[in-house]
Structures are given as structure tokens and as C-alpha cells.
Amino acid sequence: MLEPNLFLIKPSPEIFLKSERVKLYFNKKLRENIKCALSRNNIEFSELEQGRGRMFLQCKEIAKAREVLGRIFGIHAIAPVFAFSAPDLLAIKSAAVEYCQGRIKEGTFAVKAVRSGEQSFSSQEIERAVGAAVLQAFPKLKVNLSKPEQKISIEIYEEQGLCYVDETPCFGGLPQGVEGSVAMFFSGKKEEAAAAWLLMKRGCNVFPVGKDAASVRKILAFLEPWNAYRKFILTEPKNLEKLIPEREILMLASAETGVSKKDFANYEKSDKKQPLPVLRPLLFLPKEKMKELLETIKGR
């Protein structure tokens, strides 16, 4: 059975809606976060290459890298892939069938192909040719183009081909750091993990502010893997005004959830005492979504 020899990283689609200058900056931040997370987990890699709408990571510890990369914001999906020479349809069919050995099961499948470059064949021709070859090699399979149980992905770039069958969806969002820094208040409530996670997903660096307590440290430990494995430094509330210029803090944040008229009156009163505007990302978040989010933070 052929083994994967490359790791494919698909950045969030919303990154590519930005202008060329902004897109370059976002991709640079994403690469920095990926390298940081890999290094802090002692995962050796030889190269992290930027392609068109893709990043390609060369490393040997595929399983460990998949676990680490699954927590990096700004990534849409990841997959171990088999890279091969693809001068013609025959080579593509051969590589796809060989790589699928031991990786696809009985049931339904579909082939999805994309390509760029000057080839003599189209993406649809790749899908038909590979689909027919797979059916011939694995007669117990059936084609289902609308809701396949398994998907064989083929990507062709000039004469370079990629084949993969086990793509892992990630959490998308924006690379941390592209939206600046936020100082967030922590007191040890579980909701604070959810609020910080949402801010980090939208590209913010979060700097915790609160008393040093076991409950706060526990929450920050859960959040650390989502912070590209960077450790959080807790700032005492009395040092907040010093933190703001040091870390170029743009906003403050809180995990409050109340949405009554009294709650908003209290927010207005307390916000007047703060040196910066206060974000409250959990307002109007349904309870079931909160529960799901907290399970995600702890479970991955």
C-alpha cells in the first residue's frame, strides 16, 4: 500500500476573498502559527510551501501533525496526500487505484478532480477515468455523486498530481494575529473558554486578565492548544493599563451572557470605567451552542 508523502493544508476560503496584499499577510500569519504549533510539539518538518489556494507540508509524523493542525484557526481542511508525476490520464488512474488500496471500503464513492495548467484533458475526464478504474479494481463499490460515503480527491498542477481520500475538516476562521490583540477578563467561569475561543477564531490574540487561580489556569490550559500551543501569560487586573500599550491592545472582552434590560444597564455602567470598549462575544449565543462549543474546546 502506498503511503502518503505530503500533507495538504487548505486555508479558510474567506482568506481568498481579501485583496492580494491582505491575503499575503493572512497567509504569512497562518504559516507562522503552523510552524509555531509544530515546533512546540517537536514535530520536525522540512518545508512548508505556499501554493495557489493550498499549503504543502513535508513531514514524517503525519498522524501527529494532523492532530496539531486540526486546532489551528485559518485552516479549512487538512489531508495526508500521495504526490505523484501526472503526465497523462493513465498515470493518474494508476496512482489513484494504487493509493486507494486498503483505504476505501465497500459502499458508495465519488471522484472529485481539480486541475490547473495546460493539460490535454479536463477535470471531468479525470473524474470519469479514475471512477471507471476504481470500479474495475474494487467491484463492490458503487458510484454516488450526490451523497457518497467516500470521496477520492485528485488535484493536478501542471504535471504534478495529488491523491487523497481522508480529508479532515477543520474550524476555519482567520489566522490568529490578523485582527490584533484583545485583553479578556477571566475569573474561572467555564463560559470564558468559549468567549476566548470565539475571539481567537476571528483572528484575535487573546491576553488574559485576572487573579491567578486554579480555575483560571485550568481554562487557559484547555485553550492553549487552540493558541498555536503558545502559553498564555496572565496579567493582574491592576496591571491592565500597563498591558494595553505593551501588547497594543485594541479592545477588552468579557464572557458575560445576560441579555436582560438590567444586564445591559449594568454593562453600560461598568464599561464607562474601562479604558477601552468591551466585546461580549457570548451575547445571544444559544445554550446548546455553548455546550457544543465547550465540548469542542475540551475534546480536540
In-domain check, residue 1: no
Burial class (CB in 10 A: 0-12, 13-18, 19+), 86: buried
- Are 204 and 281 within 8 A, CB to CB? no
For residue 146, the tally of other CB atoms under 10 A from its CB is 6
- Are 222 and 289 within 8 A, CB to CB? no
- Are 36 and 114 within 8 A, CB to CB? no
- Are 190 and 200 within 8 A, CB to CB? no
Asked if 37 and 63 sit in the same domain, the reply is yes
**pLDDT, tens digit, 9 for 90 and up, residues 250-261:** 999 999 999 999
Asked if 68 and 149 sit in the same domain, the reply is yes
Asked if 205 and 99 sit in the same domain, the reply is no
Asked if 25 and 146 sit in the same domain, the reply is yes
Beta bridge partners of 114: 155
Cell numbers linked to 295:
465540548
Farthest-apart Cα atoms in the chain, separation = 72
Amino acid, single-letter form, for residue 219: I
Asked if 48 and 149 sit in the same domain, the reply is yes
Which domain CATH number covers 55?
3.30.2130.30
Asked if 208 and 256 sit in the same domain, the reply is yes
Q: Cell 491582505, residue? A: 22
CA atoms of 193 and 12, how far apart (whole Å): 23
- Are 157 and 116 within 8 A, CB to CB? yes
Asked if 46 and 63 sit in the same domain, the reply is yes
Name the nearest CA neighbour of 32 among 18, 43, 48: 48
**pLDDT, tens digit, 9 for 90 and up, residues 171-218:** 999 999 999 999 999 999 999 999 999 999 999 999 999 999 999 999
Which domain CATH number covers 238?
3.40.50.620
In-domain check, residue 75: yes
pLDDT of residue 171: 96
Q: Total structural domains in the chain?
A: 2
**pLDDT, tens digit, 9 for 90 and up, residues 94-152:** 999 999 999 998 899 999 999 988 888 999 999 999 999 999 999 999 999 999 999 99
The yes-or-no verdict on residue 297 having pLDDT over 80 is yes
Asked if 32 and 118 sit in the same domain, the reply is yes
Asked if 94 and 183 sit in the same domain, the reply is no
Domain that residue 103 falls in: 6-171
The yes-or-no verdict on residue 264 having pLDDT over 60 is yes
Asked if 90 and 209 sit in the same domain, the reply is no
Asked if 124 and 214 sit in the same domain, the reply is no
- Who's near 146: CB < 8 A, 6+ residues apart? none
Find the DSSP H helices in the chain.
20-40, 62-69, 89-100, 123-137, 191-201, 214-223, 240-246, 261-271, 287-299
Last residue of a domain, one of 171, 201, 227: 171
